[in-house]
Amino acid sequence: MEPTGLDFIFFNAFLASNFVLALFLGLCPFLGVSGKLETAFPMGIATMVVMLISSVCAYFINQILVSYDIEYLRLISYIAVIASSVQLVEMTLKKFTPGLFRSLGIFLPLITTNCAILGLALFQTFKEYNFLQSLVYALGAGAGFTLAILLMAGMRERMDLARLPSVTQGAALSLMIGGLLSLSFMGFAGLGS
Amino acid sequence: MLDDKITSETFWEGVWENNPVFVMLLGMCPVLAVTNSTINALAMGLATLFVLLSSSLLVSLIRNWIPKQTRIAIYIIIIATFVTVVDYVIQAISLDLYNALGAFIQLIVANCMILGRAEAYASKVPPVKSLVNALGMGVGFTIALLCLGSVREILGSGTLLGFDLFGEHYQQWVVMILPPGGFFVLGGWLLLFEWLRQRKEQEES
């Protein structure tokens, strides 16, 4: 049985089992949107907001599903909730910050297929977190995602200026950087479970 | 380009030229997460193959009745249904495997390769053709998973499919079965393919 204190849950999701670097969730935006710092940061924040909304919704949906004994509908209802909360974030951004909305472009609707968000909803169900714990878990996971994508974007901006052998350009280089980041995050493993 | 004729290209495109993992870099999360042993990689590949085949078939069959505005939602619901099926089937066949793969079976829903195929291919061509193409893509995906899974298992635990390869004096390269190993091995494969491609180009010119 792992500890269930709120601070533990936060730091576990934030560092020790970071969603991107330790659990391999949400790699598509991690590799796709991490080219520039100025788009990486809003992407991280948008993902975090969607995580919070869908975590709250998933908690209540799971309560309803369990009370009617229809858990096999869990996956379908979770993905529907995530798709609609992405739509909500998209409309809000479009209304209040049109510039940001344009710069994120296609990657905004793609948050729907970001497995970090579905993974979060599933993990909090498997771990049987209560409402407050789920909220803190979502916050930690979102912050961890933002941290990882920011670190990656910072390093890739530097790499643009470096002289590299022609073979390593493109995805291979990003993966190697990701591997090094992941290696350094393993140092936090002692903190968590 | 998308006519109704089925050629060998329909199948081989997914295996080699447009391999979902090595060329298009789609569906990376399961690729890196469950490939710490060959058997996990194989199971994940087959599960994805099944979901891909059945959702492509269904989407292609009802492609003329899907309203354009709600198509993504419909595709996702279809995929989620088949994933639920796979989830329960694996749970029934082998509980060990189910525990090893964990949430990643349910996360097949969020595999962008499957949604991408439904959107870009299955919704435009007749059932048989989309089935053949999905088969190619699924096989390509499985091969890629096996490439990673076998390398990581050999380096990380010195075994292949559970059989000991090097004897007891083998010093296990543990980091390869931990998360960073996934990044490194996939990066290594991509480097290899890029190097081969460049060498071929040089020979031609």
Which residue in A18, A72, A76 has the most chain B C-beta atoms within 10 A of its own C-beta, making it the best mutation to test that interface?
A: A76
Chain B residues with beta carbon closer than 8 angstroms to that of A171:
25, 190
Q: How many domains does chain A have?
A: 1
State the pairing for strand pair B163-164/B159-160.
Answer: antiparallel
Determine, for residues A72 and B84 on separate chains, whether the beta-carbon distance falls below 8 Å. Answer: yes
Distance from CA of A5 to the nearest CA of B (A): 23
Q: Answer whether residue B91 shows pLDDT above 70.
A: yes
- From CA A71, how far away is CA A73, in angstroms rounded? 5
Q: What is the pLDDT of residue B2?
A: 55
Model confidence band, residue B1 (pLDDT cutoffs 50, 70, 90): very low
Residue A76 lies in a domain: yes
What ipTM is given for this predicted complex?
A: 0.79
Average pLDDT of B183-196? 86
Residue A189 lies in a domain: no
Positions in chain A whose pLDDT score sits under 50: 1
Residue A95 lies in a domain: yes
Residue A131 lies in a domain: yes
Residue A75 lies in a domain: yes
Report pLDDT digits (tens) over B11-49: 777 777 777 777 777 777 778 888 878 888 888 889 999
Model confidence band, residue B54 (pLDDT cutoffs 50, 70, 90): very high
Q: Which residue segment(s) compose the domain that A110 sits in?
A: 6-183
Is residue A7 exposed (0-12), middle (13-18) or buried (19+ Cβ within 10 Å)?
exposed
Is residue A91 exposed (0-12), middle (13-18) or buried (19+ Cβ within 10 Å)?
exposed
Q: What is the pLDDT of residue B50?
A: 92
Chain B residues with beta carbon closer than 8 angstroms to that of A168:
191, 194
Q: What is the pLDDT of residue B113?
A: 81
Residue A67 lies in a domain: yes
- From CA A143, how far away is CA A141, in angstroms rounded? 5
SS3 B2: coil
Does the CB of B177 have a partner CB in chain A at under 8 Å? no
Q: What is the pLDDT of residue A1?
A: 43
Average pLDDT of B191-201? 85
Query: Which residue in the block uniquely carries the two structure tokens 């530097």?
Result: A158
Alpha helical stretches, state H, chain B: 8-12, 28-33, 38-61, 71-93, 95-101, 112-117, 127-157, 179-204
Spell B79-112 as b/e; 16+ CB within 10 A means b: bbbbbbebbeebeeeeeebbebbbbbbbbbbbbb
Tokens representing residue B197 in the block:
């491609």
CA neighbor of A177 nearest in space, from A190, A192, A164, A191: A164
Report pLDDT digits (tens) over B95-151: 888 888 877 888 888 777 888 788 777 788 888 888 888 888 888 889 888 888 888
